[in-house]
Chain A
Amino acid sequence: MRRLHRPGDTPVHRLPPQCKLLAVLGFALAVVSTPREAFWAFAGHAVLLGLVAAAARVPPPFVVRRMAVETPFVLFAVLLPVVGRGPYTELWGVELSVEGLWAGWNILAKASLGVAASILLAATTEPRALLLGARRLRLPALLVQIATFMLRYADVVLGEMRRMRIARESRGFAARDVRHLPVVAKSAGALFIRSYERGERVHLAMLSRGYDGVMPALYDPPASARQWAVAAALPGAACAVALAAWIEVSGIGVPGMGVSGMGAG
């Protein structure tokens, strides 16, 4: 599994996970509701994230490298101006759809800011702690438990898969075309059976240790009012930026809502 967490002891690392989760959610909502015409507002959001990254001592290349996950949607956003509907405008000798340009920019800016915020969250918080935070935020306990088990055993199952692949390859197998699919599928079937049987053994082991449907949390600190206030700084500032952008955009007489703002062009 990709390792996103960067252990550290900064104020951002020390915040309880539930505060950080809500802060990132608030930030993402503020970014999504920012009108796309306000270019400076997105720069403002990016500066806010930069400040958080600096406070958490997360180097910018770390964040940028991991933003590769959004590549498919970047491609989509880049294609939009080319395949979009008219009216068209000419840019560098290429005829591009005006609406497509706006839509592409909108997706690119908002998705990148969202991904960067999520990366910062994952870099400063252990996945296990994030799930504890999700439970504190009243996500269904059973769902959080399932996700916790998945997280805990993902490496075990992936290791099992890797050993199967090494076993296949040491016997000279290399999947080259569709005819090799049955071999891969048989491995997947064996992997499922092993995973399921491991689940049964884990359940019995849990029962013998007194499992009664609730997982004990060894370290689950409550958040103080001060910590909530610190965490609220990011979404608060982002909301202020979004609000200012709205006032400015509606001030120059562009009506509309959200991404359809420049619909009339």
Chain B
Amino acid sequence: MHVPDGFFTTPVSIGAGVVAAAGVAVCLRGARRELDDRTAPLAGLVAAFIFAAQMLNFPVGAGTSGHLLGGALAAILAGPYTGVLCVTAVLLVQLLFADGGLTAIGVNVTLMALVTVVVAWGVLRGITRVLPRGRAGLLAASFAAAMISVPASALAFVGLFAIGGTTALDVGTVALAMGGIHLLIGVGEGLITALTVGAVLAARPDLVYGARGLTAPLRLRATPGAPGPTPSPAPGTATSTEGA
């Protein structure tokens, strides 16, 4: 579902292009700070993963199947800056395969890379701050983040539509229809995102960017009687890398 040429007026396409360029510039700087010279290969491979995951069809019942959009998943696994760059790279390469219009690349990057990742990351951070630390909290937050990111992107599309789309449709109707459909799609996106984050968390919790700062710090605990460092005063602290 990439916006083609001619869908929005030229001023809207150019405006969205400026927003996209500014957002990507910020993320390029942020990702370089996070990953230094590993940025290109790591973000490239994560982008290839998102590209592949988008082809992973899952049944949603009644004979239809859905597929992942991946913005929220990229943000939670690789961090918001890298996430935006990964989705942008996917969009660029899809553009080379004639998917999406060349003049609409700004609109597509704004809607699918910036809005989804920023909304998903905001929701994730907001919820993990409220919920208790640990696996269940992070998974619930991942579900909500991915679920909300899809209708948010759809509503941003409606917003652009209101500014510079065709005048033939009532904006309220479009917003209701797009928001409603995408809320349903979002539930599927949220489910598969949370389950995928859970699978990665079980095997390599250190790779989940969104789980950083949520785990209890590792502490040394000596067995009683054996020579070693003094046990920490707090009794019953877990030694695992995961809280709860």
Taking Cβ atoms with an 8 Å cutoff, the residues of A that contact B are: 1-2, 4, 24-25, 28-29, 31-33, 66, 69-70, 72-73, 80-81, 83-85, 97, 99-100, 102-104, 106-107, 109-111, 113-115, 117-119, 121-122, 127, 130-131, 134, 140, 142-143, 145-154, 156-158, 160-161, 175-178, 180-182, 184-193, 195-196, 198-200, 202-203, 206, 211-213, 215, 257-260, 263
Question: Looking at the complex, which one of B13, B41, B52, B60 makes contact with A203 (CB distance below 8 Å)?
Answer: B41
Q: Are A111 and B5 in contact (CB under 8 A)?
A: yes
Q: Are A154 and B7 in contact (CB under 8 A)?
A: no
Interface presence of B160 (CB below 8 A): no
Question: Looking at the complex, which one of A83, A151, A190 makes contact with B169 (CB distance below 8 Å)?
Answer: A83
Question: Looking at the complex, which one of B48, B166, B191 makes contact with A259 (CB distance below 8 Å)?
Answer: B166
- Inside 8 A of B53's CB, which chain A residues have their CB? 188, 191-192
Q: Are B199 and A185 in contact (CB under 8 A)?
A: yes
Whether A161 contacts B52 in the complex (CB less than 8 A), given A143-B85, A203-B42, comes out as: yes
Q: Are A189 and B199 in contact (CB under 8 A)?
A: yes
22 contacts between A and B (CB under 8 A): A25-B103, A69-B98, A70-B4, A99-B168, A110-B4, A110-B7, A115-B98, A122-B98, A127-B97, A130-B96, A134-B92, A140-B28, A142-B28, A150-B48, A157-B48, A157-B52, A188-B199, A189-B197, A190-B203, A195-B45, A196-B207, A259-B166
Whether A32 contacts B44 in the complex (CB less than 8 A), given A119-B98, A188-B196, A192-B200, comes out as: no
Q: Are B167 and A99 in contact (CB under 8 A)?
A: yes
CA–CA, A193 and B32, complex, Å? 21
A171 CB, nearest partner CB in chain B, Å:
18
A206 CB, nearest partner CB in chain B, Å:
6
CA–CA, A182 and B5, complex, Å? 38
B59 CB, nearest partner CB in chain A, Å:
5
Whether A142 contacts B198 in the complex (CB less than 8 A), given A106-B6, A111-B101, A115-B98, comes out as: no
Interface presence of B162 (CB below 8 A): no
Q: Number of contacts between A and B (CB, 8 Å)?
A: 273
Interface presence of B108 (CB below 8 A): no
Interface presence of B220 (CB below 8 A): no
- Inside 8 A of A85's CB, which chain B residues have their CB? 168-170
What are the 6 closest A-B residue pairs judged by CB atoms, nearest first?
Answer: A110-B6, A149-B44, A189-B199, A114-B5, A185-B195, A103-B166
Q: Are B92 and A147 in contact (CB under 8 A)?
A: yes
CA–CA, A140 and B60, complex, Å? 39
- Inside 8 A of B97's CB, which chain A residues have their CB? 1-2, 4, 69, 122, 127
Q: Are B96 and A122 in contact (CB under 8 A)?
A: yes
| B 174-207 contacts with A by CB, 8 A | 191-192, 195-200, 202-204, 207
- Inside 8 A of A117's CB, which chain B residues have their CB? 102
- Inside 8 A of A189's CB, which chain B residues have their CB? 195-200, 202-203
- Inside 8 A of A131's CB, which chain B residues have their CB? 96
- Inside 8 A of A160's CB, which chain B residues have their CB? 52
Q: Are A107 and B166 in contact (CB under 8 A)?
A: yes
Given contacts A146-B39, A157-B51, A257-B9, 8 further A-B contacts (CB under 8 A): A69-B98, A103-B168, A122-B96, A143-B88, A146-B40, A146-B85, A191-B52, A193-B207
